[in-house]
Structure 1
Amino acid sequence: MLRRLYDWTMSLAARKSAEIWLAIIAFVESSVFLVPADVLYVPMALAKPERAYRYAVVATTASVLGGIAGWALGYYAYDTIARPILEFYGKIDAFEQLRVFIQGQWEIVLLMLVTSGLAHLPPIKVVTILAGVVQMNLGFFIISAIVARGARFLFLAWLLRRYGESIRHFIEKRLGQITAIVAGLLIVLGVGYKLLA
């Protein structure tokens, strides 16, 4: 099923309505969808490099709006909507462990929002829902999401504009690994700080 979702998302990049689909995928990725918007963003930006930054702004805006929807699901409808979504993706146990670990300290959620926004670690939908559940300040959440998601998409735009097709393999294979390592280090530092404090 995951492969079919991936292939379907990739096929959207060739359509005239690709920009609308990018916004839709970025929105739902931040609240309920499994496939990251990068899958659609990268081929679109490679096909039209002059629009890479425009696409980055579209993806960032839609992703932040989707994050707000995820926050609202966690804040207002955890048991009725968000929990079944997390169960569907098999993320409920990890979510509950994070929820217990955080115990209302949304500073840790902020750190996860940054690492998730940059490297999908943990998945963005898990963090946005968690932010709502722990009642993270919505204004602070929005600013953090803009910075985290904007940094990711704008950095991808810069790489694609500067290096073009030659950077595609690196982005698809290595960039995720590198940012996941950096994100993992940030999480370890945050957890270490919490334990020492």
Structure 2
Amino acid sequence: MKALVLNCTLKTSPDPSNTEALAHVVVEQLEKEGVIVDVVRAVDLDIAPGVTSDAIRAGDAWPGVHEKLLRSEILVIASPTWLGRPSSVAQRVLERMDAMLSETDDEDRPVAYNRVAGVVVTGNEDGAHHVISEVSGALADIGYTIPGQAWTYWHLGPGPGPDYLEEERGREWSHRTGRAMAANLYGVAQALAARPLEAPPQ
């Protein structure tokens, strides 16, 4: 089984990413279950704006990401909170994924069927539940199955403050929730593999 983590931080590599650090807790738990995990920092790629899976311009990296999505049974969108919302990078990723609504597999099922998804959020202000709701709602629209408690987040409440990598407070809860998230994603992915959803009735 394969998983893809799309880290939607605004920080380019090699800058440390708080969001990627928390997502790594989920990655570790998935790897313990034998899942092969690929982590992609979307901001490092030239992803053109648009709503197609095909390349929009020369150098558009989205088709490669789309291929990774189709090879993965598990997807994790990881985003920081900015102005109480998902990052602009996360929004661009979801807009490109919108094209998957009209894509089907060999059995005429939406390509996101029988795949599961979850969300990781970091930030030093509140808004995590709003980000989780927006991203989870978009992924469900595309066709992903969202298991119960398929998320984890870390923040220190309203206002500015230290980042996840600078602060130990709250980490234990976020890590425990992240491990539960990974277990739920893996469990539901296994169930869908054993008994896949059929094409929707016409």
- Please give the range of the TM-score, normalised by the shorter of the 2 chains: 0.3 to 0.5
Q: Which has a greater percent of strand?
A: 2
- What is the TM-score with the length of structure 1 in the denominator? 0.35
- What is the TM-score with the length of structure 2 in the denominator? 0.35
